[in-house]
Structure 1
Amino acid sequence: MGRVEVYTLGRLIVDLYANEIGVPLKDVCSFQKYLGGSAANTAVGLARLGAKVGLISRVGQDAFGQFLLERLQQEGVDTGMVRTDPVYPTGLAFAAPQPPQDSEVLFYRKPCADANVSIHDLDLNQLHQAKILVVACTALAVPAGREAALAALEANRDSGGVNVLDLDWRPMFWNYEEEARLYYRLALRMADVVLANEPELAFAGETDDPEQAAETILSTGVKEVVAKRGSDGVWYFSREERLKVPPVPVKVLNTLGAGDAFGAAYVYGLLQGWEVHRRLAFACAAGAIVVGRHSCSEAMPTLEEVENVLLHNQVTS
């Protein structure tokens, strides 16, 4: 596939999504299996848009791990830094879509392979050749993953690459919120771009006021804060400007994965050197496509699909 231009680091799990829509998870009878996890979804999203992308993560030494490796390779994602963990199993997530509300999700990941990605898994020579590193911050929740994430951010910054943080704030993965804040602050000091939904923005910015939260994050040295607000569109903050972008109208089926599609599309825009308005519009269109589909990774759009939405301002599933 040639030299990898962007790496993602973090969660790589199996998603099991309920076939029955609007049914509580406890009552669901059947599930569809997909590749999942924010870093993996973002990698697939970038690959479908045409980027040369690699993933840094781990899978278990089990059938689900084999499934994930095969799906990544089928999608054209470089798996040179996806290791097979000799101890921990592949993580799982069960989800029950509850449109138009957020889906009900149950994680099985204590312990799991992707959380234990190691600093020794990093190929720094390959990482130094990339232009962008995207870190899903749930990697910070476990000591091994934390070391790998921070080392990768440092290495990418030293080589002149752009660091993007997907805040991916999941309180259930942490023992204490203050512990999480400490490591998030360390990561933010090495970040150029921050992607966050509203709760994540409030957590990292330590206030429910979006503008004040963004200011706090920008004060760490971050250049751009992109706040995903669902049906309220997107807010963009930098030192120079503040922007509000309306959403693309769409019928909601499953809210999971839309943020990953948005992030993948935004990073694709960074790779292309697009100006900020174009990046935001492109990312909003990608997110709108996925919110109208059942899965996360399998729902990721192609470049043609996103451009068609931008042209016609309508989503087709």
Structure 2
Amino acid sequence: MKTTIPRTDVAADLLTIGRSSIDLYSSDIGQPFEKITAFNAFVGGCPLNIATGVSRLGLKSALLTGLGNDKVGDFIHNFLENENVETAWIPRINDARTSAVLLGIEPPDRFPLVYYRENCADIHLDLDHIEAIPFEKIRLVVFSGTAFSKDPSRTAMLLALEKCRAHGIATLLDVDFRADQWRDPRAFGIVLRSVLPMFSIVVGTEEELLATYLTDRSQLEIKHQQISAPELRGDIEAAIAGVLKAGADTLVVKRGKAGASLFRPGEPEVEVPGFPVDVVNVLGAGDAFCAGFSYGVLKGWSLYKSVRMGNACGAIIVTREGCANFMPTYAEVEQFVADRGGL
């Protein structure tokens, strides 16, 4: 599938689908998790973060997620409304709870993470929720890997991909590997490899691409409960080749402070430098990257400039305490890159 984003009369420039949560982040930055005295309440989840980031940059974004019919759901819904993210298609799921995340912040490289996602509302997205979306009025749809982890969400994602293909809509996969959300980490790769041919664009870290081709549990190691930053062993070149062979028109490999690499079938790797900054919290950097990159693609920028925009957004967010609540505005990104030589 080609990376083509037609301009049309839209309900939303971008729709993201998948998880959302209340994020409780340590207010004691630098303290070990067991010594935290208080948490600050934010919102998060890969799709929610991306939708918020794109909205703050100035485009129309929408989110499809499941929220519990509870006060935490109210908290997240209120945040999205205030951020001008379209919420019309977000269902309230009875007999399920809105997801929650707890995070310790020990910069520069230790961020223990605890998920509370048992019977979470967003995993109950179903076929009827997909049928309610006017896909013909959306330019780009972003999926997260975690949404494929369980039914009914998994089957709903398959229907959404069919709808995108039927309407010629560009699709982006944020690989979003969270090992503890899968019964077996090898299942992650089996499921994602089966849907890769349906995606125009794939975005992930080296570790996430290796997870997509994981064959042995011993290749995976999680230290200090850093669920979002596992260590994986494997052949990264083979993983990159596998994604491109599956049919993606564009693959972006996020490489942290080094920036990102851009791959297209039959073309050499293009290295896109990042923006060095002092790190406060790495969680959300990839989502900010995806928001900035998606913005550039939707604006018709070159892929190089779009990746550079993603790098800038990611660099800004790691200097801040949280994710969605701290996504940069376009004016902030513009000033940030101007001070560092531009895009």
TM-score normalised by structure 2 residue count: 0.88
1:313 aligns with 2:321: no
Q: Does 1:202 align with 2:194?
A: no
Query: CA contact under 8 A between 2:16 and 2:143: conserved in structure 1?
Result: yes
User: Structure 1 residue 60: deviation in Å?
Assistant: 0.6
Instruction: Quote how far apart the aligned CAs of 1:229 are.
Output: 1.1
Q: Write the distance in 2 (CA, Å) between the matches of 1:173 and 1:225.
A: 24
Q: Quick one: which of 12, 20, 28 aligns to 2:20?
A: 12
Any conservation in 2 of the 1:281–1:310 contact (CA below 8 Å)? no
Partner of 2:178: 170
Alignment counterpart, residue 252 of structure 2, candidates 212, 223, 226: 226
Unaligned runs of 5+ in 2: 1-8, 215-232
Q: Amino acid of the residue matched to residue 196 of structure 1?
A: G
Where structure 1 has 5 or more consecutive residues not aligned to the other structure, the ranges are none
CA contact (8 A) 1:205 1:217 kept: no
State how far apart, in whole Å, the 1-side matches of 2:295 and 2:285 are.
15
Distance apart, 1:277 and its partner CA: 1.4
Q: 2:240 aligns to what? A: 214
Q: Are residue 238 (structure 1) and residue 276 (structure 2) matched? A: no
Could you tell me which amino acid in structure 2 is paired with residue 164 of structure 1? L
SS in 2 for 1:131: strand
In structure 2, distance between residues paired with 1:292 and 1:5 = 28
237-246 vs 218-227, which moves further: 237-246
The one-letter code matched in structure 2 to 1:306 is: V
Query: 1:21 aligned to 2:29?
Result: yes
Match in the other structure for 1:283: 310
How far has the Cα of 1:23 moved from its partner? Answer: 1.4
Matches of 1:125 and 1:40 in 2, distance apart?
Answer: 17
2:121 alignment partner AA: A
Normalised to the residue count of structure 1, the TM-score between the two structures is 0.95
Alpha-carbon distance, 1:205 to partner:
4.3
Match of 2:117 in 1: 109
Pair 1:297 & 2:317 matched: no
Q: Name whichever of 152-161 and 121-130 sits farther off.
A: 121-130
* Residue number in structure 1 paired with 2:194: 186
Give the partner amino acid of 2:240: A
**Quick one: which of 262, 266, 284 aligns to 1:257?**
284
Give the whole-Å Cα distance in 1 for the aligned partners of 2:292 and 2:110.
21
Q: Distance in 2 between matches of 1:2 and 1:268?
A: 15
CA distance in 1, matches of 2:213, 2:136: 30
Pair 1:142 & 2:150 matched: yes
- Give the percent of matched residue pairs that are identical in Structure 1 and Structure 2: 33
**Correspondence for 1:266 among 283, 293, 297:** 293
Per residue, is there more strand in 1 or in 2?
Answer: 1
Distance 1:170 1:123 in 2: 27
The question of whether the paired residues in 1 share the 8 Å contact of 2:105 and 2:281 is answered with: yes
Determine whether 1:43 maps to 2:51.
Answer: yes
Summarize deviations over 1:72-118 as a string: whole Å, max 9, x none. 01100001121100111011000011111041110011121012111
CA contact (8 A) 2:22 2:98 kept: yes
d(CA) in 1 for partners of 2:47 and 2:205?
16
1:127 counterpart (122, 135, 146): 135
Quick check: 2:10–2:139 contact (8 Å CA) kept in 1? no
* Pairwise CA distance, 1:125: 5.3
Question: Which string of whole-angstrom CA distances, capped at 9 and with x for unpartnered residues, describes residues 8-34 of structure 1?
Answer: 001111000000012122221101111
Whether the aligned pair in 2 keeps the contact of 1:88 and 1:113 (CA below 8 Å) is: yes
The 3-state SS of whatever aligns with 1:168 is: coil
Q: Secondary structure at the match of 1:103?
A: coil
Partner of 2:222: none
How far is the alpha carbon of 1:178 from its aligned partner?
A: 3.1
Q: Could you say what secondary structure the match of 1:8 adopts? A: strand
For 1:194, the aligned partner's letter is V
Pairwise CA distance, 1:48: 0.3
**Aligned match of 1:87:** 95
Alpha-carbon distance between aligned partners in 2 of 1:51 and 1:2, rounded to the nearest angstrom:
11
